[in-house]
Each structure stands twice: as C-alpha cells, then as structure tokens.
Amino acid sequence: MGFRAATLIYLLLLVDKAFTKKGVKCGGILSAPFGNISSPNFPGMYPYNIHCSWLIVVPEGSSILLTFHHFQLEYHNTCSYDYIKIYNGVSEDEGNLLGTFCGDNTPPQFTSSWNVISIIFHSDRHVAFRGFSFGFRKDMCGGVLTGLSGIISSPGYPQEYSNNADCSWSIQVSNTSVVTVVFLDFQLENNEGCNFDFVALFDGPTVSHQHLGKYCGADKPPNTVTTSNQLLVVFKSDFNIGGQGFKAYYYSGECQQVLTTVSGNFSSPHFPNIYPNNINCHWSINLEAGYRIKLFFPILDLEGRNSLSEECDYDFVAVYDGDSQTNALLGRWCGREQPPSLISKGNKLLVVLNTDRTDAHRGFTASYLGGKVT
C-alpha cells in the first residue's frame, strides 16, 4: 500500500475517532497554513480518560513548525499516565516518534521532516492539570532539525528557487556528536564574493558563531564538519536571477562513523531498540594500506522487501568496496536476511543504512576484522 493511500485511510479513521468521550470533542485533521491547538477545556482542567489525535497536513514540499505556549500535565518519570506524543508523519509507528512529554517541562520547538505531523494526547482516570496549547505553521524553508540525519533543500527544489528567500536551518544533534553536511547538488547565482544568492554555514546555532564558509555558483561546497553538536545553514537570495538551488544532507556522529582500528563493532542507531525512520547513516572502515577487511552481520532485522518488485526498496543496508557509493556494490540486504561474510579488495569498506518514513525494526549489528595481505 502506498504512503498516500495509507495516510488517507488513517485520516478516515482519525475523523471517526474525533469524539473520544461523551460531550468532549478533540482531535481532527488540520490543513491550514497556521493555527493553534489546545487540550479540551483549556485553560481549565482537561477531562480524565481521553485520547485525542491531531493530524496536521500541509502541501508537499513544506514542513511544519510546532511551538508550545503552555504545558502542564500530570508528571510520571516515564510519562505513563498523561502525555503528549509527537510523530513525524502518521502516528502509531514508533520509528517516527519525535518525543513523549509530560509534567510541566515545555517541549522544544519541532520542525517536521516532511509535510505531515501527528500529535497524540492521552489522559488517564486520575489527576488532571490545565493541559497545553501550541501553535503550528507551515514552514516553506528553514526550521530546527534534531534527527540523527536529514535532508535540506532550497524552496521548490529542484525547480528554481524564489527571489528574496531568507531561510535558516538550525541542526541540533546529541551533545556527544558533531554534524557533517554534504551537498548533493548546488546551482545558485554566481558572483564574486557571493553577495547576491548564497549559502552560509556557521559552527553553532547563530550567525555570531564561527563562519565555516559562504558559497554560490555551481561548484558544490566541500564536506563540512562542525566542532560542536550544532550547525546553522543560511540560504538567501536577492531580487533577481535564480537557479535550481541546492540539496544537502547532514549526519550526526551517531549516524556517521569512521573506523580506523584493526577490528571493531558497530550497530544501527538505538540498537537493540528500533532505529529511527528517514535516516541515511554511513560507517566508513578505513585501515592502513596493505590491509583487507572481513565484515560480518551477526544480526539484521529491517523492513522487508517490496512485495511487488521483490527488491529492498524501503529500509536496507548496502556495502561498498571502497570509501564511497561510487565504488563497487558488494550487496544490499533487508528484512531478516543473513548477509554472507564480505571481504574487501582493498583497505576500505563503506556500510550504508537507509530507512524510509514508515515501519522501523531493531536494525543490525556488525563486526569487522582487518588482515594484512601477504
């Protein structure tokens, strides 16, 4: 079943569940470019024993920004009583879960990874508080991105971007990671000094942090790595002359590793718990010249093959005989397939995990061992 069809079925079920308790209406489908949502009876106490689902849908190519103005629910250390859950896309798939919140700590701003976001509110049969209120708006460009990896692009990409654009993406990953950004395509108006249309990178959350580069024209910027867990990407265009724009992806340290020891182990993010949806993670094994690498996958548990094409079209692990995806592909696996032991021709291997926006599993574990060619 396609994603759009599945979403439509979910919407119909959601409408059917809009009334969750006699006399209380909550939840629904919202498609306006902006709006506000609050718990039933807000700012009074919310009712006991309700379950509300909101689905916000904006045009494809846009994202959604959520900003909480008030938040006060019953507290529990695992948020098992009263809680809000926020999902990228359609809910009920834990791989899409952005966060679960309770108590009185206001959730941070969220920017969706695509044009659909779900909010679930649940209360149990005891103890109630004032609840919550938050605003949402369609974000044509920019936002706060907190995923392990993600993709950013100019407005309308791959069509020509608009004039007078002013977009900022604040990428924030876990405190122990750094951020790497890689440009896949880059076509902006060219001028000396890049003062008209440009992309600028900053080593932190604001333009006052160290400037990592300013780029225009048709030459792709170099791969850039931050010194901290935050990166700011700014795109601006002037009043005339445009281009196709740009597309880039970013990785956090948990989603990108360079392994240089003679032997080692690595696994998908969050293993043995389910991996996130919509990620593209790279593990690059780089040993000294004269070594070859043997790679094993003791555990592999991903979304299965496409029943129509019989291919690994959804979530998959791919291994390349070198340090880039332009090198020879040694194999591509999904489901619970057991990859054979793999041996490199040289001293480098690249392992890629790609996941789509639905249906997450446990992931994989991998081990490797280097040996000198005699």
Render pLDDT for 220-276 as a digit per residue (tens, 0 to 9). Answer: 999 899 999 999 999 999 988 889 999 998 888 778 888 999 999 999 998 999 998
pLDDT at 23: 54
Q: For residues 126 and 298, what is the distance between their CA atoms, to the nearest angstrom?
A: 46
Span 27-46, mean pLDDT? 94
pLDDT at 186 over 80: yes
Higher pLDDT residue, 37 or 114? 37
Amino acid 24: pLDDT: 63
Domain boundaries 3-139, corresponding CATH code: 2.60.120.290
C-alpha distance from residue 237 to each of 115, 201, 250 (Å): 24, 15, 22
Mean pLDDT of the chain: 88
What does the pLDDT read at residue 47? 96
φ/ψ of 5, rounded to 5, equals -65, -45
Please tell me whether residue 94 adopts helix, strand or coil conformation: helix
CA distances from 188 to 97, 212, 245, 250 (A): 35, 18, 5, 20
Token couple for 147: 């995923």
Helix (H, G, I), strand (E, B) or coil at 70: strand
CA pair distance 34, 12, nearest whole angstrom:
22
When mean pLDDT is compared across 58-72, 139-153, 163-177, 206-220, the lowest value belongs to: 139-153
Question: Given a cut of 70, is residue 302 above it in pLDDT?
Answer: yes
Instruction: Tell me which of 374 and 285 has the higher pLDDT.
Output: 285
Spatial strand order of the sheet with 224-225 comes to 149-153, 245-252, 179-187, 224-225
What is the spatial distance between Cα 357 and Cα 89, in angstroms, rounded to a whole number?
Answer: 8
Looking at the structure, give the CATH architecture of the domain made up of residues 260-372: Sandwich (2.60)
Give the lowest-confidence range in 63-67, 127-131, 269-273, 339-343. Answer: 63-67
- CATH 2.60.120.290, the chain: domain bounds: 3-139, 144-252, 260-372
Q: How far apart (Å, rounded) are the C-alpha atoms in residues 284 and 2?
A: 33
Cα–Cα distance for residue pair 170/111, rounded to 1 Å: 10
State in Å, rounded, how far the first CA of the chain is from the last one.
52
Q: What is the pLDDT of residues 275-293, one digit of tens each?
A: 988 888 999 999 999 999 9
> Average pLDDT for residues 172-189, to the nearest whole number?
88
Which CATH fold topology does 144-252 show?
Jelly Rolls (2.60.120)
Report pLDDT for 140.
Answer: 65
Contact between 238 and 207 under an 8 Å Cβ cutoff? The reply is no
pLDDT tier for residue 1 given thresholds of 50, 70 and 90: very low
As a residue count, the chain comes to 374
pTM score, two decimals?
0.59
